[in-house]
Amino acid sequence: MDKTRYAIIGSGSMGMEHIRNIALIDNAEVTALCDPNRTSIDSSLEVLKKNVPTFKSHINLMEADIADVYIIATPNFTHIDVLRDIVKTNAHLLIEKPLCTTVEDCQEFKAKTINYPGVIWTAMEYRYMPPVARFIEEVHKGTIGNLKMLSIREHRFPFLAKVNNWNRFAKNSGGTLVEKCCHFFDLMRLITKSEPVRVFASGNQDNNHLNESYDGKIPDIIDNAFVIVDFKNGVRGLLDLCMFAENSKVQEEICGVGHKGKIETGVPANGSGQNSSDLSIGLRGSDHISTEKVVVDKKILEAGHHHGSTYYEHIAFINALNNQLEAEVTLDDGLRAVAIGQAAEQSIKEKRIVMMSELLN
């Protein structure tokens, strides 16, 4: 089987994570890098450990026609401009989250890709974290009965520094609840098998980046929040986010409660070196809790900061390409995750419940 040729547009930290994971896959290779920042290009070449053509402009990369897949890992606010051009290639696309920074831009791109011949996949790698994937499998099997409540907690480190500090401002990132939390809203939709009706959020910037200034402007990104999402099927979802809790044993925790019992798991903190998680199930009327250890190969774990998920996402993506399958994470998934995040940001600003019908028809 011929190797899948990837070109990476955006050679920052996420671009390098893709490089490390693609290197673990026999039938895939990176054939080009694109970034206007030379430092980012040089860092990615060092990770890649070989020379490939490099480009400052994605237009020049497109003209070279040396890739089967374009990974878009540029700053969030640039996605829509890159995507407007890249659709002309008809190539396969793997677009890092968030799809775009606003619902309107996501809708514009979706409209441009009707009858698009290539696979378009929104990179929501949290779906592919092994303990989370097992959690989803058990919920969908009905192990805990009909799901009633779903809670996700992420207590983690502050946002990393990015080129020109673009991620310090909500206008560039979409806001923390779009930039960071679209992953979790995507998980909520996937796990509940339902669509959100209303969103209520409480949050603020209480700790991070308050003493920083860029061109005289203070960063304005939320660093903690609670978000409640009500779904059409009656399930309630809760997100508990704190981004000044870096010294945590477990970075992400997820818990589901159904009419038969409860299931929970977690993901070790980034950099902890732990490669396993417990998946625990306790059923009502029983004094026994079953626990399964979900292990990630350490070589895969070392290739990224998302508990092996980027590797497994690429395996699923390449399988879709080779077998003419549809994307497991669609443009509509990307759009709806952004919409929930945007509704949560709006709820905090306006101190009210936001109906999803205000953002999506």
Note the pLDDT of residue 238.
98
pLDDT tens sequence across 127-150: 999 999 999 999 999 999 999 999
pLDDT of 109 higher than 60? yes
Asked if domains 4-124 and 126-299+329-358 share a fold, the reply is no
Note the pLDDT of residue 304.
85
pLDDT of 1 higher than 70? no
Q: What is the CATH number of domain 4-124?
A: 3.40.50.720
pLDDT of 165 higher than 80? yes
Note the pLDDT of residue 305.
84
Q: Using 50, 70 and 90 to split pLDDT, how confident is the model at 361?
A: confident
pLDDT of 280 higher than 80? yes
Whose tokens are 């998946």? That residue is 279
Q: What is the CATH number of domain 126-299+329-358?
A: 3.30.360.10
> Mean of the per-residue pLDDT values for the chain?
96
Q: Using 50, 70 and 90 to split pLDDT, how confident is the model at 272?
A: confident
Note the pLDDT of residue 313.
97
pLDDT tens sequence across 214-245: 999 999 999 999 999 999 999 999 999 999 99
Over residues 69-77, mean pLDDT: 98
pLDDT of 153 higher than 80? yes
Query: Are the C-beta atoms of residues 239 and 181 closer than 8 Å to each other?
Result: yes
Note the pLDDT of residue 77.
97
pLDDT of 104 higher than 90? yes
pLDDT of 337 higher than 80? yes
Sign of CA dihedral 182, 184, 190, 193: negative
Note the pLDDT of residue 269.
85
Domain boundaries, the chain: 4-124, 126-299+329-358
Listed range (14-18, 68-72, 277-281, 304-308) with the worst mean pLDDT: 304-308
In whole angstroms, give the CA distance from residue 297 to residue 318: 20
Mapping DSSP onto H, E and C, the string for the chain reads: CCCEEEEEECCCHHHHHHHHHHCCCCCEEEEEEECCCHHHHHHHHHHHCCCCCEECCHHHHHHHCCCCEEEECCCHHHHHHHHHHHHHHCCEEEEECCCCCCHHHHHHHHHHCCCCCCCEEEECHHHHCHHHHHHHHHHHHCCCCCEEEEEEEEECCCCCCCHHHHHHCHHHHCCHHHHCCHHHHHHHHHHHCCCEEEEEEEEECCCCCCCCCECCECCCCCCEEEEEEEECCCCEEEEEEECCCCCCCEEEEEEEEECCEEEEEEEECCCCCCCEEEEEEEECCCCCEEEEEEECCHHHHCCCCCCCHHHHHHHHHHHHHHCCCCCCCCHHHHHHHHHHHHHHHHHHHHCCCEEHHHCCC
